Amino acid sequence: MAYFEYGCGVLPNHELVACGVYDRGGISAVGILESDHTITDFSNASQYTANIAAGNLKVIKNIRGTVPDASPVEGDNPVGCGPDTILNGFNWTATWQDANTTSNTIDFYSALNTRTTELVLFLCGSNEVLVVDNKVNYVCNPVMVPANNKELQMFNCTARASIGPSELPQKYTAPAGIFEF
């Protein structure tokens, strides 16, 4: 007999997309969101604007990003006669490349490497934002300079979070005028 958890809540319905109109990929902007932000409605442009003005949100535009599959984190199952392991959470990442290699951007990424924030990703293929409201830290490599003049100098960044099994990043309709370029 397998181990089942009872009484933890109702399993919501699975939703099908209408007429096979599946969301497309692509991340063209990210928002670095300080933990003391005041956004409660992630579709509300006014709340983003207020947080930008307060210095609680920094938007990085004109990038190319992706969210690969998260890596499951498993642990020993504390209950006998079931699977050997249970899901404890995920090691989640997002990566992006940024060709905005100015000296100010170098300073920005140098500071970002030492911070823990929340993160908003602009999903340009579906006009949505993906919000990671867990603690996120960053590894932004120094500027990569290619060997020839036919390629661009680039920052390569990785955002990392450890999320629980029920703490998946949420999608919202993108606020107008914040992430578009």
Domain boundary assignment for the chain: 29-173
Percent above pLDDT 70 for the chain: 96
Q: Work out the number of other CB atoms within 10 angstroms of the CB of residue 27.
A: 21
Q: Which amino acid is at 13?
A: N
Of 21-25, 49-53, 133-137, the range with the lowest mean pLDDT is: 21-25
Q: Please say if the pLDDT value at position 4 is more than 60.
A: no
- Return the higher-pLDDT residue of 7 and 45: 45
Q: How confident is the prediction for the chain on average, in pLDDT?
A: 93
Instruction: Dump pLDDT digits (tens) for 40-54.
Output: 999 999 999 999 999
Statement: residue 175 has pLDDT above 70: yes
Would you state the pLDDT for residue 52? Answer: 98
Pairing mode, if any, of strands 71-76 and 85-98? antiparallel
Number of Cβ atoms within 10 Å of the Cβ of 66: 13
Chain-centre distance of CA 27, in angstroms? 10
Q: Residues 30, 120: contact at Cβ < 8 Å?
A: yes
Q: Specify the pLDDT at position 2.
A: 44
pLDDT at 6: 56
Amino acid 164: pLDDT: 95
